[in-house]
Structure 1
Amino acid sequence: MSKGRLEAFSDGVFAIIITIIVLGMTLPDTFTPASTQTFLWEIFIFIEAGLLIGQFWYSHSRLFDQVTSISTSAVLFNILFLLILSLVPLFTRAIMQHPDLTAPIIGFVITILITSLIFQLLHRAVHGKNSGIDNWIFRISSFIFVIIIGTISFSAPQISTILFIIFPVAGWIMQLVYRRQTKK
């Protein structure tokens, strides 16, 4: 399979995921303090999920930068990666609607963990068995952080949701640091 077809399909799925998240938001009929607070919560969750999806998109595009052809196993892992990532709007909407419940954030956390694992398998399928794990220190620390956030959600779902913003922000910072180091 050509790299261009896979990238075009993947980019389309990423765009649809972000579009579904924004379409899941509801504009208040009136802007009372309570409805404005709810709307601001939805905007925060949208930004958080958007930064996360954007980070996955960026990592995905960098993964395929140097590739010329795609193996069948890479196509399969790419489809699995996108399928699981496509669950993010579902859990994002659930967090928007039920900020005090643990189940939506746990679903979100599990989705991110599985997506990250499949991304590592995709990385291996694209670059071979000896390629190692892409950014393994960041990936392991991210895994631990996401588990901690999931654990916090059992007692304080809104706090764990707010703290989750650290995950995509740290990812973007790591990407910037890595990019600067590779330019030297």
Structure 2
Amino acid sequence: MNKGRLEAFSDGVLAIIITIMVLEIKVPHGHDLKDLKPLIPIFLSYLLSFIYIGIYWNNHHHMLHTAKQVRGDVLWANLHLLFWLSLIPFVTGWMGENHFQAMPMALYGIVLLMAALAYFLLQRRIIVSQGENSILKKAVGKDIKGKISPIIYLISIAASFLSGWLAGGGYVLVALIWLIPDKRIERILKETKD
């Protein structure tokens, strides 16, 4: 199957996720800057989740760029990833509305952890479908970022019951790790064209 439909569907779902998140930010009934103060936790949770969705969109795009075609198992793995990403608006809203309390922070981390594991599964399915000479396999290499992210998520989930801010710091740390542009796939693609 051509990967174009998979990419288009995934892009659409991610765009809807971002739209849902921003629509959850309610306009305050007031005209002063002080009326925006109660929205600070909601905006901060939105900002973090927006960055996460952007990271997933960017990496998903690069990962699919290595595939020539997709099989059924890749389609299902992609849907699995989109399922967990589609829960981000809910946990983002709950986290922001409750000012980073323990349970919303923990659930936010669980959804991030599950999305990371789903992304890993999708990555593995693409590598298997492309065979031993997979461009993606060469590009991923040891995948240090992919291995340490779930560990930080688990620590942050546990930390959420001590301090919401400590857990949030872990989630921000993972976002920062992935925010740095990853040139592995681009480099391997360029090498294969040369």
Give the structure 2 partner of residue 115 of structure 1. Answer: 115
Give 1:40 deviation, angstroms.
Answer: 2.2
Change over 3 Å in CA distance of 1:92–1:100 after alignment to 2? closer
- The residue aligned with 2:49 is 49
Match of residue 176 from structure 2: 169
Corresponding residue of 1:146: 153
Q: Cα deviations across residues 34-58 of structure 1 (Å, max 9, x unaligned)?
A: x432212222211110110111111
With 20-29 and 152-161 compared, the bigger mean Cα shift is at 152-161
1: distance between equivalents of 2:118 and 2:166? 27
Q: What's 1:36 paired with?
A: 36
- Residues 36 and 158 from structure 1, CA distance in 2 versus in 1: closer, same or farther, beyond 3 angstroms? farther
Q: Distance in 2 between matches of 1:72 and 1:3?
A: 11
Q: Render the CA deviation track for 1:118-154: whole Å, top value 9, x for unaligned.
A: 1111111112175389462111211121122212210
CA distance in 1, matches of 2:88, 2:102: 16
Q: Answer whether contact 1:113 1:143 (CA < 8 A) is retained.
A: yes
Relative to structure 1, the CA distance from residue 24 to residue 5 in structure 2 (aligned partners, 3 Å threshold; closer, same or farther) is: same
CA contact (8 A) 1:88 1:111 kept: yes
CA contact (8 A) 1:124 1:133 kept: no
Question: TM-score scaled by structure 1?
Answer: 0.87
Residue 162 to residue 29, structure 1, CA distance change in 2 (3 Å): farther
Q: CA deviation at 1:158?
A: 3.7
Cα distance in 2 between the residues matched to 1:159 and 1:26: 27
Query: TM-score, normalised to structure 2's length?
Result: 0.83
The answer for the alignment partner of 2:126 in structure 1 is 126
Q: Output the CA distance in 1 between the equivalents of 2:46 and 2:13.
A: 17
The letter for the 1-side match of 2:3 is: K
Partner of residue 164, structure 2: 157
Quote how far apart the aligned CAs of 1:66 are.
2.2
Using the aligned pairs only, state the percent identity: 26
Q: Which amino acid in the other structure matches residue 43 of structure 2?
A: I
Runs of 4+ in 1 over 3 A off after TM superposition: 129-135, 176-184
CA separation of 1:177 and 1:104: change in aligned 2, threshold 3 A: same
- The RMSD of aligned alpha carbons is 2.4
Q: Which runs of 5+ in 2 are unaligned?
A: none
AA matched with 1:19: T
SS in 2 for 1:69: coil
